[in-house]
């Protein structure tokens, strides 16, 4: 069995609740084999949100301390913003990351959770604005491995039905997925949607089905946990969905290289 969580936050993230060591101990307790820390690299108020030297050295220290119990990897979640692209590239090239997860949390300097992001827009207009920003990102930014929670925007829209209907955005979503595949990148299955009340993984099943139809193979599974107790949360649901869609493998990354692991071996014994 290979139980792996590729999207985990700690107190190195401003919204993280538990220390790295607490998260590691939780992972060991529930049988996690591979754990990748992906704390937030966000740019606000003219600075990045993380002390990269301390972050990387802490992971190195804890990796050695717990090497007989769990495999620990150095990842980062890049909250991409185009106006700091050069600074992002400089940091990513300097530090020894195993895994870079790119996510869109902010568009045109407005945070997606902020109601201002939706003001003056219909649901379709707001969602298209969000997806177009992702398309612009994947066309101009290459230093990442996997794109995170592609339909993250649905968490925050105050519409009667926040769900993304694939065919309503097929043109821009297909463009995103094709570019990701062409660039040898992947997408994430993020289980936090269940915790945010959207009753789905991010992205939803229709997007994951289309990714596979287009030839996408690189898939990571991440809890997006901000508390130790949520490590690998709802992974059984994610794996059942991937099995239903006939995916055979999930990935983890070592030194930026994807390692493919059988879904059957990875899903055995997955905690709820």
User: In this predicted model, what pLDDT tens digit does every residue of 224-241 receive, in sequence order?
Assistant: 999 999 999 999 999 999
Residue 150 domain-assigned (yes or no): yes
User: So what's the pLDDT on residue 4?
Assistant: 96
Residue 62 domain-assigned (yes or no): yes
Give the E-state strand segments of 42-112 in sequence order. 43-44, 47-48, 71-79, 99-103, 106-107, 110-111
Domain count, the chain: 1
What's the rounded Cα separation, in Å, for the pair 251 and 242? Answer: 13
Question: What is the helix, strand, coil percentage profile of the chain, to 5?
Answer: 40, 20, 40
CATH number at residue 183: 3.20.20.140
Residue 272 domain-assigned (yes or no): no
Answer yes or no: are the C-beta atoms of 100 and 92 closer than 8 Å. Answer: yes
User: So what's the pLDDT on residue 2?
Assistant: 73
Average pLDDT over residues 185-195: 97
Answer yes or no: are the C-beta atoms of 250 and 242 closer than 8 Å. Answer: yes
The DSSP annotation for 119-153 comes to: TT--HHHHHHHHHHHHHHHHHH----SEE--TTGG
Q: Is the pLDDT of residue 264 over 90?
A: no
In degrees rounded to 5, what are phi and psi of residue 107?
A: -130, 125
Range of the domain at 208: 4-267
User: So what's the pLDDT on residue 271?
Assistant: 54
For residue 87, what are the CA distances in angstroms to 55, 57, 81, 254?
A: 18, 21, 10, 24
User: So what's the pLDDT on residue 46?
Assistant: 82
Q: Which residues pair with 251 in a beta bridge?
A: 260
Q: Is the pLDDT of residue 272 over 70?
A: no
Token pair recorded at residue 209: 């089905």
The per-residue pLDDT for range 24-80, each reduced to its tens digit, is 999 999 999 999 999 999 998 888 999 999 999 999 999 999 999 999 999 999 999
Residue 186 domain-assigned (yes or no): yes
User: So what's the pLDDT on residue 45?
Assistant: 82
User: So what's the pLDDT on residue 101?
Assistant: 98
- Counting residues of the chain whose pLDDT is more than 90, the rounded percentage is 92
| Cα end-to-end distance, the chain, whole Å | 16
């Amino acid at each position: 069995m290979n139980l792996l969580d590729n999207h985990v936050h700690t107190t190195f993230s401003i919204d993280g609740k538990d220390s790295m060591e607490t998260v590691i101990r939780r992972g060991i307790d529930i049988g996690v084999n591979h754990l990748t820390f992906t704390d937030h690299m966000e740019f606000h108020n003219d600075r990045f949100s993380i002390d990269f030297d301390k972050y990387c050295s802490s992971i190195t220290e804890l990796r050695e301390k717990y090497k007989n119990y769990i495999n620990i990897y150095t990842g980062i979640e890049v909250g991409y913003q185009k106006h700091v692209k050069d600074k992002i590239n400089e940091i990513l090239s300097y530090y020894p990351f195993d895994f870079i997860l790119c996510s869109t949390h902010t568009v045109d300097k407005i945070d997606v959770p902020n109601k201002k992001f939706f003001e003056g827009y219909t649901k379709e207009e707001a969602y298209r604005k969000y997806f177009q920003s992702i398309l612009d990102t994947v066309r101009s930014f290459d230093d990442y491995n996997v794109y995170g929670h592609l339909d993250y925007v649905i968490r925050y829209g105050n519409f009667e039905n926040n769900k993304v209907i694939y065919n309503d955005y097929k043109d821009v979503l297909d463009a995103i997925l094709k570019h990701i595949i062409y660039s040898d990148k992947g997408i994430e299955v993020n289980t936090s949607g269940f915790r945010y009340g959207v009753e789905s993984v991010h992205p939803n099943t229709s997007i994951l089905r289309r990714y596979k139809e287009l030839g996408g193979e690189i898939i990571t599974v991440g809890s997006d946990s901000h508390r130790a107790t949520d490590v690998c949360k709802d992974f059984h649901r994610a794996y059942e969905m991937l099995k239903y869609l006939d995916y055979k493998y999930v990935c983890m990354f070592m030194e930026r290289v994807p390692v493919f692991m059988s879904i059957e071996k990875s899903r055995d014994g997955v905690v709820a």
